[in-house]
Every structure is written in structure tokens, then in C-alpha cells.
């Protein structure tokens, strides 16, 4: 079975084609980072309009890359939610329309399920069950995964997600958008111990996260400190270490609570090298294993949507002709396959 996947939940237009025998055979991605940089964040209306401009050329490029025609496509998967409603509608409308015109089934995919299953695109595939850490701009969640559609939410951010906190703190330091990767790079030049920030909610039981107070602590330090590059690097280092320590502590608790030995880390922040190093140490200590998507599949992309859609289409799921999106969509509402 060969599936075309469409991702338009936010500010990346991702198109990919996945074959259940050959694997990923086409992957096209367009990022709107430059478009939104002047505004310091994603402007939903601009994002929707740019998806409209880019989606058809990217589909054509993916079809050419895979050297296939409409007759070779057996199904279409598109991101149904969660995400920006206007952006979601672009991908859902185009995806459902293509499926209708090609006379193939379509399925709406949960964006976070796509991230959860992204490591399945790699050669070293995690076996179920495992604990998943979804850590991105909009989500920080710990989930027990017993199979596709079998998800138990263990903990989540009650305010800012880790990626949001990275981007907002980077903006306070004076870095461009998106600031998370730039802050991580700046942190490499920081001196450990010059600044000390709290590890939020680690002094109480539970697996929920809160990064709003940490962002406030960083803002206070930035206002009180001098504006030298070294001071900014020291603050960036302290902030990043506080986030990573907090995430690692919660991951340890989740693994102890579930008694599982496998950890899957997905989402844009999963590309952070210091986070990977610390989680690798944690899993080595616990005699377990940690899995990641390839760097190009950590952020939003069509490949993860195509793969998740392939699994659901093979299980018989289809989307009706009516186009509906779910800007808010709890992961636990998905059906097991």
C-alpha cells in the first residue's frame, strides 16, 4: 500500500509518500520560518495563505521524487488536528479532494500520533509498550504507549510547553525567531553555575510539567544582569539545563511508574543534543533504550503523517467526504488498531 501524507498543522507544509514495503519514497518540506520571523511568532492567517500557495507544488514534487502517478497512490492521509484551524483546513480540503478524485480512501491523522510514530521510520524500531516523551513548541507530554491508538496520558504541561519556554526566553535574550535552537547553540558557550534556575514541579509527586515560572525566573535574571554576550550565554546555559533536568527527572519517574525499559522521544525539542545526552545517560543507568526520529523528522513533516495514516488505512479507517478538523483533539480519543 502506498500513501500520500499531508502535514499543515502550523507553519510547515510537509508532503511525503510512504510505501508499506519500500518505506519512505518521497519527502518534501517547506518551512515558513522566514515569513513569520518579523512577527516573532506564527501568524495564523499568513500561515494558512502560505499553505495554499505551497501545497500543490510540493505534492507534484513528491510525486516526481517517488516517480509515481495518481494511479500508484492507494490512500491519502492528512493532519486533521490538533493545530491552527485555518492551516488544518488547507491540508484537509486538499487531501480529501485528492482522495475523492483519485477514488482512493482518505484518513485524518492526529498530529501527535504522527510524532509518536515517527521513530518507526528508522531502522531501529521500538517495540510496544514504551514511554513516549512528546516535547515540542506546543506540547510537553509523557504518554504510555501500548500500541497504535493505545495511549495513556501520564503527565503534561499545565502552562507553557518546553519549546514555548525556549522560544520565549530566547526572545527575551534578544535572539531571532525561532529562538529555541539559537538558545541551545548559545548555551554551549555558557559557564555552568553562574546562574541557577529552579527545576519546576520536581519537588512534588506527579508527572505534570510547568515552565512558565522558569521563564519568569530567566526574565528576572536577564533584566538584572549586564548585556554582555557571555552573560547571555550563561543565562542560556542555566535555562537550558533547568529544562533538561526537569524533563529527565519526570522521564525517570514515568519509567519507574510504568516499569518499562523503552523511551521514545519525539517533537522538535527532541533534536536538542544536550537533552539527548542526558536521556541517553538515564537509559544506560536503567539498562534501557531510548529511541528518536531522525533529525529531519523531529519537527513537523509529512512522512510521520503518511506513516500513521498508512497504519490506520490498513486497519480499515477512512474519512467521510465531509471535511472536518479538530484544532483541539485529545490523544486518548483515538481508537486502537
Pick out the residues of the known binding site for Fe cation: 111, 115, 300
Query: What does DSSP say about strands 12-19 and 130-135: parallel, antiparallel, or unpaired?
Result: unpaired
What single string gives the DSSP state of each residue in 214-242?
A: HHHHHHHHHHHS---HHHHHHHHHHHHHH
- Of 98, 244, 221, 111, nearest to 169 (Cα)? 221
Question: Helix (H, G, I), strand (E, B), or coil: what is residue 292?
Answer: coil
What single string gives the DSSP state of each residue in 54-66?
A: HHHHHHHHHHHHT
Phi and psi at 21, nearest 5°, equal -110, -45
Residue numbers belonging to the annotated binding site for substrate: 134-138, 167, 180, 272
Outline where DSSP puts E strands in the chain.
Answer: 2-7, 12-19, 23-31, 75-81, 106-110, 130-135, 140-147, 150-156, 262-266, 289-291
Produce one character per residue of 266-290: b if its CB has 16 or more CB atoms within 10 Å, e if not. Answer: bbbbbbbeebeebbeebbeebeebb
Grid cell locating 115: 510524532
- Of 277, 331, 274, 310, nearest to 145 (Cα)? 331
Residue numbers belonging to the annotated binding site: 111, 115, 134-138, 167, 180, 272, 300
Amino acid at each position: 500500500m502506498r500513501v500520500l501524507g499531508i502535514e499543515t498543522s502550523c507553519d510547515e507544509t510537509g508532503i511525503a509518500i510512504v510505501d508499506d514495503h519500500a518505506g519512505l519514497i518521497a519527502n518534501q518540506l517547506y518551512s515558513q520560518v522566514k515569513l513569520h520571523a518579523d512577527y516573532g511568532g506564527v501568524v495564523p492567517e499568513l500561515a494558512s495563505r502560505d499553505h495554499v500557495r505551497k501545497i500543490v507544488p510540493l505534492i507534484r514534487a513528491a510525486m516526481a521524487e517517488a516517480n509515481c502517478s495518481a494511479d500508484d497512490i492507494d490512500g491519502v492521509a492528512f493532519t486533521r488536528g490538533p493545530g491552527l484551524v485555518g492551516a488544518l483546513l488547507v491540508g484537509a480540503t486538499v487531501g480529501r479532494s485528492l482522495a475523492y478524485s483519485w477514488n482512493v480512501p482518505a484518513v485524518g491523522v492526529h498530529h501527535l500520533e504522527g510524532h509518536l510514530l515517527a521513530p518507526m521510520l528508522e531502522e531501529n524500531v521500538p517495540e510496544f509498550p514504551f514511554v513516549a516523551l512528546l516535547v515540542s513548541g506546543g506540547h510537553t507530554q509523557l504518554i504510555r504507549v501500548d500500541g497504535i491508538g493505545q495511549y495513556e496520558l501520564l503527565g503534561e504541561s499545565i502552562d507553557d510547553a518546553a519549546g514555548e519556554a525556549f522560544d520565549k526566553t530566547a526572545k527575551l535574550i534578544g535572539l531571532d525567531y525561532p529562538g529555541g535552537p539559537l538558545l541551545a547553540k548559545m548555551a554551549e558557550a555558557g559557564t555552568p553555575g553562574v546562574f541557577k534556575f529552579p527545576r519546576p514541579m520536581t519537588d512534588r509527586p506527579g508527572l505534570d510539567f510547568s515552565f512558565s515560572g522558569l521563564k519568569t525566573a530567566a526574565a528576572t535574571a536577564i533584566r538584572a544582569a549586564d548585556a554582555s554576550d557571555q552573560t547571555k550565554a550563561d543565562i542560556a546555559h542555566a535555562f537550558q539545563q533547568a529544562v533538561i533536568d526537569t524533563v529527565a527527572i519526570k522521564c525517570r519517574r514515568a519509567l519507574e511508574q510504568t516499569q518499562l525499559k523503552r523511551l521514545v522521544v519525539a517533537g522538535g525539542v527532541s533534536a536538542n543534543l544536550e537533552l539527548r545526552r542526558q536521556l541517553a545517560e538515564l537509559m544506560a543507568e536503567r539498562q534501557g533504550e531510548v529511541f528518536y526520529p531522525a533529525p529531519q523528522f523531529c519537527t513537523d513533516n509529512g512522512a510521520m503523517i503518511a506513516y500513521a495514516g498508512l497504519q490506520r488505512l490498513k486497519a480499515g479507517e477512512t474519512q467521510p467526504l465531509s471535511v472536518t478538523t479538530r484544532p483541539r483533539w485529545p490523544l486518548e480519543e483515538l481508537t486502537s488498531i
